[in-house]
């Protein structure tokens, strides 16, 4: 099974949203991990909440440093923010690298409901991007889910 690492700077929001979504969509194809170049040490509670709204539990995911994965045989690295893309090291044997930047919902301001809506929008942007990625991957392999 191919191994995918999703990176962002803090590994608290975007990378966890993407990890949960990709694992849900393609856990039969990929071992999915996430990490950060400067991990926050927690998964943002609002990220956990908006993922639970769509039936995906990311509450057991944890914030990790990307160095943990340097010797893990990563096949694909996906960066979801500009800082992580710049800080991303070369992984031994890495075959694919994608950069899909998304705005950080942790920086959203406003009422709790307004911030929640920003997290939902980010989740949906990530979901659309990963859906296209997974559909293309399955098509290339001629695999249906």
Taking CA atoms, 22 is separated from 28, 51, 116, in Å, by: 10, 12, 21
**Per-residue confidence of the chain (145 residues) as pLDDT tens digits?**
999 999 998 899 999 999 999 999 999 999 999 999 889 999 999 999 999 999 999 999 999 999 899 888 889 999 898 655 555 556 666 578 898 999 999 999 999 999 999 999 999 999 999 999 999 999 998 866 5
Q: Identify the active-site residue in 5, 6, 8, 32.
A: 8
Q: What is the pLDDT of residue 92?
A: 61
Q: Which pair of tokens denotes residue 87?
A: 């800080």
Domain 2-141 has CATH 3.40.50.2300: yes
Q: Identify the active-site residue in 32, 35, 88, 126.
A: 88
Q: ∠135-141-145 over CA atoms, to 5°? A: 50
13 is catalytic: no
Q: What is the pLDDT of residue 143?
A: 67
Q: What totals of helices (H) and strands (E) does the chain contain, helices first?
A: 4, 4
Q: Where are the alpha helices (DSSP H) in the chain?
A: 14-26, 45-52, 82-87, 112-141
- For 96, residues 6+ apart whose C-beta sits below 8 A from its C-beta are 75, 76, 77
Output the furthest CA–CA distance in the chain (Å, rounded): 46
CA distance linking residue 10 with residue 36, whole number of Å: 5
Q: Identify the active-site residue in 22, 47, 81, 126.
A: 81
The pTM for the full model equals 0.91
Q: What is the pLDDT of residue 9?
A: 87
* DSSP state for residue 9 in the 8-state scheme: S
Q: What is the pLDDT of residue 82?
A: 67
């Amino acid at each position: 099974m191919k191994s995918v690492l999703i990176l962002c700077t803090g590994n608290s929001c975007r990378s966890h949203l993407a990890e949960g979504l990709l694992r849900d969509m393609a856990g039969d194809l990929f071992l999915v991990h996430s990490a950060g170049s400067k991990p926050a040490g927690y998964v943002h509670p609002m990220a956990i909440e908006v993922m639970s709204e769509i039936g995906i539990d990311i509450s057991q995911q944890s914030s990790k440093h990307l160095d943990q994965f340097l010797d893990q045989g990563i096949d694909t690295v996906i960066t979801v923010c500009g800082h992580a893309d710049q800080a991303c090291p070369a992984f031994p044997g890495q075959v694919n690298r994608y950069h899909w930047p998304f705005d950080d919902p942790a920086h959203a301001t406003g009422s709790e409901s307004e911030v929640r809506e920003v997290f939902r929008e980010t989740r949906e942007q990530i979901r659309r991007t990963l859906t296209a990625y997974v559909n293309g991957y399955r098509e290339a392999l001629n695999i249906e889910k």
